[in-house]
């Protein structure tokens, strides 16, 4: 087994797989209100193609964590079937979802081998949630969180993208929600991947500000930092944890171990990569595993030192978050 290493010595063991580009929300920072064109079904990777790429990365390169994303992954028909296929690889299998369909799927996904879920929710205020997602589905998301807990997922994490002037006044509310509900909230800095291309640096609520706001009300201590994107904190009174993903103000590129496979079979060595490697074409042209492996290792070897946000060198990816996968 050969570790998948880039030119800066970073070993990559975390694979993010977008299983669909479709979503039942149209979040204002994720996809445009109109004009979104979904990929034709035949251009989306099959479960067998996804499993083949995942198995190669696990068996040849020691990838030990896989996260299913989208779009909204629960919109993919028969998703528990894919979960079962990937669970057999013996990896830490997780999923990021908006939670709307979890009340129907949580138990089946858990039984199929899914270990953890991250549920995206950017407001606890009904009208604001509807404005941000263009869907009045806050109640269904909250039911999804409860369903994940009832199904036995541990931990259940809630992701909140914090945007100044939009929802940053809810940071402490989310911390309180996490403590009361028994979930770990992860506060995420607003990144320049929005479909409307309206990102501004002054809309970013920084790591320092988020931590200061929370700990002023709920004192907490920092936890040891590994390769995970979130810096973790434990509340001093023992009532849970929270995390902060500081992609902008405290870039963690030097410890990043993530690689990505889009729903249409494009391999990306970075969330902010400006080019992709077409694995779907290889898969469907009869290429053997050695050819797939060569394409992947070449891509990883070319990975940049970092994304370079707010530098003169930064180039915004052509695809938005909803098309790349989280």
For residue 111, the SS3 value is helix
Q: Is the pLDDT of residue 322 over 50?
A: yes
- What digits encode the pLDDT tens for the residues 28-87? 656 555 656 678 889 999 999 999 999 999 999 999 999 999 889 999 999 999 999 999
Domains, the chain, with CATH or none: 14-324 (3.20.20.70)
- What digits encode the pLDDT tens for the residues 224-270? 977 678 899 999 999 999 999 998 888 767 778 999 999 999 999 98
Query: How, if at all, do strands 266-268 and 65-69 pair?
Result: unpaired
- What digits encode the pLDDT tens for the residues 129-156? 999 998 999 999 999 999 999 999 999 9
E strands, the chain, are 14-18, 65-69, 92-97, 116-120, 156-162, 184-189, 220-222, 231-235, 241-245, 258-261, 266-268, 277-278
Q: Is the pLDDT of residue 275 over 80?
A: yes
Q: What is the largest CA-CA distance in the chain?
A: 58
Cβ atoms 20, 73 nearer than 8 A: yes
Look at residues 38, 115, 31, 129 and name the one whose alpha carbon lies nearest to residue 75.
Answer: 38
Joined together, the tokens standing for residue 6 give: 């880039």
Joined together, the tokens standing for residue 277 give: 């490697």
Helix ranges (DSSP H) in 152-254: 171-181, 207-217
């Amino acid at each position: 087994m050969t570790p998948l290493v880039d030119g800066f010595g970073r070993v990559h063991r975390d694979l993010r797989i977008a299983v669909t580009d479709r979503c039942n929300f149209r979040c204002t920072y994720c996809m445009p209100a109109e004009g979104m064109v979904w990929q034709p079904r035949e251009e989306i990777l099959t479960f067998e193609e996804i499993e083949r790429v995942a198995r190669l990365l696990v068996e040849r390169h020691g990838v030990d964590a896989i996260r299913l994303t989208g779009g909204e992954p629960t919109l993919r028909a028969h998703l528990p079937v894919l979960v079962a296929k990937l669970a057999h690889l013996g990896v830490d299998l997780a999923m990021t979802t908006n939670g709307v369909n979890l009340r129907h799927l949580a138990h089946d996904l858990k039984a199929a081998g899914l270990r953890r879920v991250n549920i995206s929710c950017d407001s606890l205020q009904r009208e604001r949630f509807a404005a941000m997602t263009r869907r009045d589905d806050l109640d269904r998301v909250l039911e999804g969180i409860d369903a994940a807990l009832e199904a036995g997922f541990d931990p259940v994490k809630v992701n909140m993208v914090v945007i100044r002037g939009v929802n940053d006044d809810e940071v402490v509310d989310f911390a309180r929600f996490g403590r009361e509900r028994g979930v770990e909230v992860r506060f995420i800095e607003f990144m320049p991947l929005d479909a409307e291309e309206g990102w501004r640096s002054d809309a970013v609520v920084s790591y320092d500000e988020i931590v200061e706001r929370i700990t002023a009300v709920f004192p907490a201590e920092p936890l040891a930092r590994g390769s995970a994107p979130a810096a973790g904190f434990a509340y001093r009174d023992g009532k849970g944890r929270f995390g902060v993903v500081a992609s902008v103000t405290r870039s963690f590129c030097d410890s990043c171990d993530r690689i990505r496979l889009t729903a249409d079979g494009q391999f990306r060595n970075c969330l902010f990569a400006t080019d992709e490697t077409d694995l779907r074409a290889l898969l469907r042209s009869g290429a053997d595993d050695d050819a797939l492996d060569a394409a992947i290792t070449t891509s990883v070897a070319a990975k940049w030192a970092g994304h370079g946000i707010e530098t003169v060198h930064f180039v915004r990816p052509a695809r938005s978050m909803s098309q790349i996968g989280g």
